[in-house]
Amino acid sequence: MHTNSKALMVGLAAAMLMAFAVGSASARNFSTSNQQIRSTFRSIEFSAEGLGTDRCDLTLEGSFHGRTMAKVPNSLIGYITRVSTANCTLTTSILSLPWHMRYVSFTGTLPNITLESIKIPFFFLWGTLGFLCLAEPAIEFYFLREAAGRFIGVDAIALLSFPTRSGGGFGCPSSTGSFRAPNNGTLTLLGTSNAITVTLI
């Protein structure tokens, strides 16, 4: 009788472990509370040799393609359709909207992820004294997530490259520069101050 009880307990434990493993493995997608998004940054910085450092307030608006997205690197998950800058120290002009949002990776142990990384390549003109240089960054935005699932901030960092068609121009850098957000940005539902949450399904 004792042997049978012990075998039953071992079987139950194994079944519970298998169920947990299947539940974790089946979480292949992210689910967001909203598709329409707005992200704001205070005093982002663009830097390159010869141009110095440009500081701007930046607002991005757009949407995810759906309420769910697969954890597939480089998959297209949405678009940024409106960009605005303010308080720039140099001349900055945004080009080639919409910008594509592509999923990169996540950080943490499923199901408790702490960060989701999204890449947004785009072009912009940047310069001073009448000379504008074409910059081509592919910025990685890091959406910071708390345990309850709410996005609590957005960090951003990138290298700037200057394509040969503009980098060789007078007054334009021929090397790379940098883009960074010294202060975390915010991510909210478009048109409101409501936070956006992300869960695994």
d(CA 11, CA 16): 9
Total of domains in the chain: 1
Q: Is the pTM of this model over 0.85?
A: no
User: Structural domain of residue 91, as residue ranges?
Assistant: 30-200
Over the stretch 91-103, which tens digit does the pLDDT of each residue have?
778 878 899 999 9
Q: Does 14 fall in a domain?
A: no
Q: Quick check: 125 and 110 in contact, CB under 8 A?
A: no
Q: Does 166 fall in a domain?
A: yes
Q: Does 50 fall in a domain?
A: yes
Closest to 158 measured CA to CA, from 41, 29, 69, 37: 41
Q: Does 133 fall in a domain?
A: yes
Over the stretch 53-64, which tens digit does the pLDDT of each residue have?
888 899 999 999
d(CA 7, CA 143): 46
Q: Does 45 fall in a domain?
A: yes
d(CA 50, CA 9): 71
Q: Which residues pair with 32 in a beta bridge?
A: 198
d(CA 109, CA 104): 16
Q: Does 146 fall in a domain?
A: yes
